[in-house]
Structure 1
Amino acid sequence: MTVSTDQLASLAPEAARRRPVPLWLAMVAASLPMFMATLDNLVMTSALPVIQVDLGASVEQLQWFLNAYTLAFATLMLAAAGLGDRIGRRRVFLWGIGVFALASIASALSTSAEMLIAARAVQGVGAAAIMPLSLTLLAAAVPEAKRALAIGVWGGVAGLGVALGPVIGGAVVDGFSWQAIFWINVPVAVIAVPLALQALGESHGRRGPLDLTGVVLAGVGVFLGVWAIVRGNDDGWTSATVLGSLAVSVIALVAFVIRELRTEHPLMPMRMFRSRNFSAANVIGLAFTLGMMGSVFLLSQYLQIVMGYSPFQAGLRTLPWTAAPMIVAPIAGILAPRVGLRALLVTGLSLQAASLVWMSFVFEAGTGYPAMVPALAMAGIGMGMTFAPSTTAVLADMPEQDHATASSVNSTIREVGVALGVAILTAVFLANGGTLTPTGYADALQPALLVGAASVLVALVAAFWIPGRSRA
């Protein structure tokens, strides 16, 4: 029996059938929307004091401006990756960009705290389709020999989003209004769509029905767990509302794991956790983002409330911390094949834990900004050494058909870490008498930062489980 050329082409992997595109173009097409989604994790931090006054928001609502985004983001990434595997990764990626842009417009038009929280949640839905699929589409678009470099650049762009979030937010708020921080997403989305159509080919992964039961169980578990932590200080940690929410959260998450072990088409195949690289990278992702992003949330407001800087001035002063990853992460991606992932992760996480302990003693009322710079820079260098190696470890042992799911699991866990970090560190801050005043802020900040440091130490312990010779 003879097979025609057309038949052979139809049997070839989709990645092999696509025409080659320049490496830089593929990296820009995959990274630009991801930059937009990452930017909006922290772009509001510099604007929170202004939004609080304009919309009359409470401390709890300030948390939900961030947590509504990160919870929707975290809850739906697995579903978005599963949907992309089945109907097309690029198609779902483009849908995500469109939803994100429309929700950004709704955020800018919000006239109450409740409206803004709802719009931010829809933004998170769009981001859920962008973040994991951007990495999957990039990995498929570049040659395997250049994948570590591409992931390093991708991690650098993620670091750039973290770096420029407070700066752009502060600059826009000072120069225009807080609403403008959302309008800037619209032209980015307009540029990103044709770039993705030009440079990123369509691809598919695992087939089969989407595990909607798993989506619901995971969503309920994550949402109620974070909600209980946010309400703990106001309602009381022993109140029926808080304890009941925590209990339902644990039950839902246990049921999710049982469901994933038994179903024929799991949303999150538990076999992935047999990989030491994958398991350790996800523990690192949760503990590292919990400690560091929760600290960023509190420290960005410290610079305004205690030190009296404007939003833009405060954003600029976070750059020793937040700008370092965009420089260090690509370098770490290049070094990973030479020195191994574990060495980079252990070094980077050690620097971050030490920096938070240092900050907890330096950031006191009356402390000058120059005394803070070394600790901020140490934190930034450590973050840069963590982004790319931990992302590389996630995909290191995974077949290409599982890249989208593996990436979405890791991105989900990181976003849960962001939400928990903001909730837990704010809870510690409030429990120690913290208030949004110069005298009530500094004293309560120290214990919150020490809790953040303890979380990063958990990530450091997990880094030693990365195989010693595990390379990009």
Structure 2
Amino acid sequence: MVDTLARPERPSDSAIGGMSTRARHWLLTVACLDVLTVIASMVALNAALPDIALQTSATQSQLTWVVDGYTLALACLLLPAGAIGDRYGRRGALLTGLVIFGLASFAPVIFDDPVQIIVARAVAGAGAAFIMPATLSLLTAAYPKAERNKAVGIWAGVAGSGAVVGFLGTGTLLHFFEWQSVFWALTAASVGLLILTCTIRSSRDEHRTPIDWIGGALIATAVAVFVFGVIEAPAQGWLDPLVWGSMVAGVVLTVAFALVQLHRTHPLLDIRLFKRPDFATGAIGITCLFAANFGFFFVVMQYMQLVLGYTALQTAFALVPLAIPVLVLGATTHLWSPRIGLRAAVVSGLVLIAAGLLCMRTLEVDSSFFDLAWPLLIISAGIGMCTAPTTSAIMNAAPDDKQGVASAVNDTTREVGAAVGIAAAGSVLAAQYEHLLAPALGAFPEQVRGPALESLAQALEVAARMGPAGQVLSLEAQRAFLSAMDLSMTVLSVALLVAGVFIGLWSPGRDGRQLRALRRGLARPRARRVRGHRNP
């Protein structure tokens, strides 16, 4: 198998690689299906955790790592996996990832011990680390620059909708089958995608730059240690030595990685790219976007199921409106993004998400679906405004021979942002819930107060066994949860608005210049405009 595109005659044509329009569209279809499966798998098991706990006797800590083991392995291996794809062939990396992902997804069908499931999910995350950057870098290498933003926008729209697809698919399967059906579905999807991926063209770094294995080991360890600390924060507390020690160690290792990269002839990642306002805006924007997005999902899904009483399938269908604006805005990015520029797109998107999160504060214990749907549409419009432009900014700022690494930067910021968002929203929710509910439980015995203060789910379970007195406990717990949810949404909103102010000052606009040069030496000069073309 020759894992390279035909060498172009001119550098400006390097994105075309001799591929026909039909071949590029087919590549786009397969790449979107591949990344959709990876993103859907990230959230697929959340709805299945109660069944897994019941049948495998998994502890709460083990259930957490059934989900987070996948995320941790994926996050820490993205950059090295992207570099391997650039060096040895992006389709080869994609096929390798699909094989690993498929085998690891099938393992829980056979092995049902909690530790074995955790290991299998971590291996699946390692496979996903090869899939995600390869899908995007294949697209940017195959499409000419005039069409690249459209392809990236569609990819970003599909990736942004992956969580909703994962919820919907899992909810449907669990409605009819056992929890193992989720793993059967992921395995079948892997086999089908493996066959489809064999039909696409590949690409790689034509210079065959050697891989910086030292840099890869450093950044993989840094991300793994930092994300581990963030994941443990809600359970252990932010002041726990394991938590802050891991996060500090992650930052120190990241600094060490940066220093090593400055002295490497062929660095894994040229960190000077972060001096570029467009690249930095893309990385910061995606991190903030996914922190808010996954923090929101973590909280609102509990509200829908524990307060509104939705089933897993009803929750999935209720979240479908979230995907519509994301898909539409992603697919049409090439039409509106050049007209308003990166700065306006990202700032507007972050403000819309913040506004939608604040509108969630209008929800009550007995709210209707309409009360929930219109804030969801505002949030999804903001997600759609941010996702494609930030992804395009990262990919367009990186050299053509480092598209796999650039895609890995895009994906790593997603995973780190998601972990931070879930940890932050979860910590605020838990602390405020306990603070508000404790005074209302003074008349209840300790055997009721203890579990009720742990979580709303446990409070409702205890209330269901108490008869008439349980109705009082249930109502008080739901009210405390609702107030805690309001605070979580407010914290996420404020963080987004602060990020929006920073990006508004730092990010380049339609003319390619910053609103204000925060540092004179880093301000981008006005780009020379070519007739008939606007700067992105």
What is the TM-score normalised by the length of structure 2? 0.80
| Aligned twin of 1:390 | 390
| Aligned twin of 1:418 | 418
* Structure 1 residue 19: Cα displacement: 4.2
| Aligned twin of 1:430 | 430
Q: Secondary structure at the match of 1:285?
A: helix
| Aligned twin of 2:187 | 186
| Aligned twin of 2:79 | 78
| Aligned twin of 2:296 | 295
2:508 to 462, 467, 470: 467
| Aligned twin of 2:497 | 457
- For the 8 Å contact 2:168–2:316, the answer to whether it is kept is yes
- For the 8 Å contact 1:47–1:311, the answer to whether it is kept is no
The 1:454/1:45 distance shift into structure 2, 3 A limit, reads farther
* Structure 1 residue 384: Cα displacement: 1.3
Percent of aligned pairs with the same amino acid: 33
Q: Secondary structure at the match of 1:198?
A: coil
| Aligned twin of 1:3 | none
**Structure 2: distance between partners of 1:57 and 1:457:** 39
| Aligned twin of 1:40 | 41
Of 143-152 and 381-390, the range deviating more from structure 2: 143-152
**Structure 2: distance between partners of 1:323 and 1:67:** 27
- For the 8 Å contact 2:15–2:140, the answer to whether it is kept is no
Letter matched to residue 383 of structure 2: M
* Structure 1 residue 206: Cα displacement: 5.7
The 1:141/1:10 distance shift into structure 2, 3 A limit, reads closer
Of 32-41 and 396-405, the range deviating more from structure 2: 396-405
Letter matched to residue 507 of structure 2: I
| Aligned twin of 1:405 | 405
The 1:383/1:56 distance shift into structure 2, 3 A limit, reads farther
Alignment of 1:16-415 (within 5 A): 18-22=18-22, 23-204=24-205, 207-359=208-360, 361-415=361-415
Of 70-79 and 449-458, the range deviating more from structure 2: 449-458
CA deviations over 1:27-57 (Å, ceiling 9, x no partner): 1122111111111122233333443444444
The 1:52/1:308 distance shift into structure 2, 3 A limit, reads farther
Q: Secondary structure at the match of 1:177?
A: coil
Q: Secondary structure at the match of 1:263?
A: coil
Of 96-105 and 22-31, the range deviating more from structure 2: 22-31
Q: Secondary structure at the match of 1:365?
A: coil
Of 148-157 and 103-112, the range deviating more from structure 2: 103-112
**Structure 2: distance between partners of 1:237 and 1:199:** 46
Letter matched to residue 452 of structure 1: L
**Structure 1: distance between partners of 2:7 and 2:173:** 50
CA deviations over 1:172-221 (Å, ceiling 9, x no partner): 11121222222222332233233333232332256444333323322332
The 1:50/1:340 distance shift into structure 2, 3 A limit, reads same
Q: Give the unaligned 5+ runs of structure 1.
A: 1-7
**Structure 2: distance between partners of 1:57 and 1:450:** 34
Of 411-420 and 396-405, the range deviating more from structure 2: 396-405
CA deviations over 1:319-359 (Å, ceiling 9, x no partner): 22244312222123432233323222222211101111221
Q: Secondary structure at the match of 2:170?
A: helix
Q: Secondary structure at the match of 1:86?
A: helix
Q: Report how many residues are paired.
A: 464
**Structure 2: distance between partners of 1:456 and 1:324:** 19
The 1:236/1:403 distance shift into structure 2, 3 A limit, reads closer
**Structure 2: distance between partners of 1:103 and 1:390:** 32
Of 376-385 and 188-197, the range deviating more from structure 2: 188-197
**Structure 1: distance between partners of 2:7 and 2:72:** 42
CA deviations over 1:407-465 (Å, ceiling 9, x no partner): 21121111111122222222222222261425264343222222222332244234322
The 1:292/1:130 distance shift into structure 2, 3 A limit, reads same
What is the TM-score normalised by the length of structure 1? 0.90
Letter matched to residue 340 of structure 2: V
* Structure 1 residue 278: Cα displacement: 0.3
Letter matched to residue 402 of structure 1: K
- For the 8 Å contact 2:15–2:145, the answer to whether it is kept is no
* Structure 1 residue 59: Cα displacement: 4.5
- For the 8 Å contact 1:226–1:423, the answer to whether it is kept is no
Letter matched to residue 406 of structure 2: A
**Structure 1: distance between partners of 2:178 and 2:328:** 30
**Structure 1: distance between partners of 2:109 and 2:335:** 39
The 1:139/1:233 distance shift into structure 2, 3 A limit, reads closer
Letter matched to residue 457 of structure 1: L
The 1:391/1:63 distance shift into structure 2, 3 A limit, reads same
Q: State whether structure 2 residue 484 is matched by structure 1 residue 444.
A: yes
Q: Secondary structure at the match of 2:198?
A: helix
The one of the two structures with greater contact order (alpha-carbon pairs below 8 A, sep at least 6) is: 1
**Structure 1: distance between partners of 2:69 and 2:413:** 16
Q: Give the unaligned 5+ runs of structure 2.
A: 1-5, 435-453, 461-476, 513-534
**Structure 2: distance between partners of 1:442 and 1:206:** 56
Letter matched to residue 387 of structure 1: T
The 1:310/1:85 distance shift into structure 2, 3 A limit, reads same
Letter matched to residue 303 of structure 2: Y
* Structure 1 residue 135: Cα displacement: 0.9
The 1:16/1:349 distance shift into structure 2, 3 A limit, reads closer
* Structure 1 residue 110: Cα displacement: 4.4
**Structure 1: distance between partners of 2:124 and 2:354:** 31
- For the 8 Å contact 1:26–1:142, the answer to whether it is kept is no
**Structure 2: distance between partners of 1:59 and 1:428:** 19
**Structure 2: distance between partners of 1:250 and 1:148:** 33
* Structure 1 residue 137: Cα displacement: 0.5
Q: Secondary structure at the match of 2:199?
A: helix
CA deviations over 1:88-107 (Å, ceiling 9, x no partner): 11111111111111111124
